Structure 1
Amino acid sequence: MESKSKSNSNSIVVRLFGSWVSYMRRCLFRVISVGPVPSHLAFILDGNRRYARKWGLGEGMGHRAGFLSLMTLMKYCYELGVKYITIYAFSIDNFKRKPDEVQGVMDLMLEKIEGLLKEERIVNQYGVRVEFVGNLKLLSDPVRNAAEKAMRVTAHNSRAILLIAVAYTSTDEIAHAAHQSCLDKNEGVIRLADVERHMYMGVAPDPDILVRTSGETRLSNFLLWQTSSSLLSSPKALWPEMGLRHLVWLVLNFQRVQPYLETKKKKLL
């Protein structure tokens, strides 16, 4: 009985502490929201394997840790008022890896898509619609079916949107959009609006911030068309290490340069 009583007391303390942390985070976000909050954040999730090596974790554990970080960061973003989050999950160039490695990534992706649907607390609480963008025909049948199911199941949600770029490169996206524009027009002038309408990323506005973790500064053929006026950030933290303080710093940096970015956007129009 004494052991059970201690367990209940510990549980109460944990809940109270969690409530206090949640309250303080909401207060922090309320202060930050006095300034402009980015509508769209895009992430290149770099550093999962390095994180696993750093901590001596087994194969695939770095990606699992990265998935947990994604769920936590999504929650923070939606609480702050960010509506769109885009993640670069799998490049078309990754298909050039060894067949067993590609299959391993496909299996892991299938597991993560199913895991995402099980995270009802985030998907339903924040009204998240999931959109997979890219050349989905290149995916294995089980992964493509799972992706289509995720989009179908969450199609009714509209408060927030999670875009997952799979079998994606920006050059493929541009070629696809140009090809579809030609098929639609048959003849006549193809305008910028025609191409943009057929972009995989046409379901979302251009990102306000593009983040590549682990200190890397390459875009790796990701959102080249959409980021001409975006703030580019390359924090040194590996993706599984990303947390609240990194998000707060990103938003504060965005607020500092936002007037300049708005001026640049207007000049491009």
Structure 2
Amino acid sequence: MRKRSRKIVARIIGRLWRLFRRWLFLMFSFGPMPQHIAFILDGNRRYAKKHNLKMGAGHTVGFNSLVAVLRYCYELGVKQVTVYAFSIDNFRRKPEEVKGLMALMKEKIDELLDEDTIVHKFGLRINFWGCLHMLSEPARAAAERAMAATANNTGPVLSVCVAYTSTDEILRAIKKSCSKKTAEGCLRFTGDPVRDGACGAIAVADLEENLDSADCPDPDILIRTSGETRLSNFLLWQSTLTHLQNPLPLWPEFSLRNLIWAILEYQRVYPYLEARRRSLAKKHN
């Protein structure tokens, strides 16, 4: 009887919490809302050390935080979320740690594809950016399954950066652009950026078409948790007019309160950012 009563109470509390979120998010919608938020998921290992957890446990808690934050973002109307999950530089960690993270990545990707997850609730489309060939075979296969399974979804987009650095992304975009121009027989340079774009040499637009983020707008907000102020080679090309934030909580501790504060900070500086965007657009035109 007590167990049943607890379940009823839990359901009531859950419904009240969902109603409160809807009211809160409705209030936020009267201000400028970010369409794309990027996250550097920093602090998983420090969280595990802080709470005396075994290796990898912090990343498991971090995944649960990610699912909660994604839910809040999509309920708020954010259309794109990009997360920095695993850098190319992270492969320098101890082999056993890398192996464990690859196994965890495969497990959590598979979990996302299960029924009754945020993927199905929001019609989520999942992208993976980076050098997927560097992943373990099971993790790479899981990533490819997730992209194929959600390719036709029309809801929000989750882009996961794995085996990724921004400089590698830019380098790959240059190589792709050069290969395409060479195949067309029109790759040449004059030294004039305007004429180069017109006569076949590599232009800014060519690079942007070949970046991992080609179909994605630049992020409005980039959040790195744990108080760190470095971009760590993440979205360097795409963050020219992005509002950068570095809240103190470790990633597993990042909560709805922190997300709300981040959006309030974005809304505070939005007039300045929008003026800068218009100014740059005018220069390019």
Please indicate, yes or no, whether the TM-score normalized by the shorter chain is above 0.5.
yes
Deviations 1:82-108 (A, max 9, x none): 010101011111122233332222112
Greater displacement, 193-202 / 50-59: 50-59
Please state if 1:154 is matched with 2:150: yes
- Rounded to whole Å, the distance in 2 between the matches of 1:102 and 1:54 is 21
- Pick from 240, 263, 266: which aligns with 1:254? 266
Please name the residue that 1:141 is paired with. Answer: 137
Please state if 1:236 is matched with 2:248: yes
Any gaps of 5 or more consecutive residues in structure 1?
Answer: none
Q: Does the aligned pair in 1 maintain the 2:55–2:97 contact within 8 Å?
A: no
- Pick from 43, 60, 64: which aligns with 1:47? 43
- Rounded to whole Å, the distance in 2 between the matches of 1:40 and 1:58 is 34
Greater displacement, 257-266 / 117-126: 117-126
- Pick from 181, 199, 203: which aligns with 2:211? 199
Any gaps of 5 or more consecutive residues in structure 2?
Answer: 188-199
Please name the residue that 1:12 is paired with. Answer: 8
Please state if 1:183 is matched with 2:183: no
Deviations 1:131-184 (A, max 9, x none): 001111222221111100000111121210000001110000111101111111
Q: Does the aligned pair in 1 maintain the 2:126–2:150 contact within 8 Å?
A: yes
Aligned positions of 1:59-208 closer than 5 A: 59-118=55-114, 120-186=116-182, 187=187, 188-208=200-220
- Rounded to whole Å, the distance in 1 between the matches of 2:46 and 2:114 is 27
Runs of 4+ in 1 over 6 A off after TM superposition: none
Greater displacement, 194-203 / 5-14: 5-14
- Rounded to whole Å, the distance in 2 between the matches of 1:189 and 1:58 is 52
Amino acid at match of 1:228: T
How far is the alpha carbon of 1:117 from its aligned partner? 1.8
Structure 2 residue matching 1:256: 3-state secondary structure: helix
How far is the alpha carbon of 1:121 from its aligned partner? 2.6
Deviations 1:222-266 (A, max 9, x none): 000000100000000010111110111011111111111111122
- Rounded to whole Å, the distance in 2 between the matches of 1:173 and 1:14 is 46
Structure 1 residue matching 2:14: 3-state secondary structure: helix
Greater displacement, 161-170 / 184-193: 184-193
Amino acid at match of 2:155: R
RMSD, aligned α-carbons: 1.2
- Rounded to whole Å, the distance in 1 between the matches of 2:124 and 2:76 is 14
Structure 1 residue matching 2:260: 3-state secondary structure: helix
Please state if 1:217 is matched with 2:213: no
- Rounded to whole Å, the distance in 2 between the matches of 1:174 and 1:241 is 32
**TM-score calculated relative to the size of structure 1:** 0.95
- Rounded to whole Å, the distance in 2 between the matches of 1:152 and 1:266 is 37
Structure 1 residue matching 2:83: 3-state secondary structure: strand
- Rounded to whole Å, the distance in 2 between the matches of 1:197 and 1:180 is 10
- Rounded to whole Å, the distance in 2 between the matches of 1:118 and 1:243 is 24
Please name the residue that 2:23 is paired with. Answer: 27
Amino acid at match of 2:232: S
Please name the residue that 2:192 is paired with. Answer: none
How far is the alpha carbon of 1:193 from its aligned partner? 0.8
**TM-score calculated relative to the size of structure 2:** 0.90
- Rounded to whole Å, the distance in 2 between the matches of 1:65 and 1:197 is 36
Q: Does the aligned pair in 1 maintain the 2:174–2:207 contact within 8 Å?
A: yes
How far is the alpha carbon of 1:119 from its aligned partner? 6.2
- % of aligned pairs identical? 54
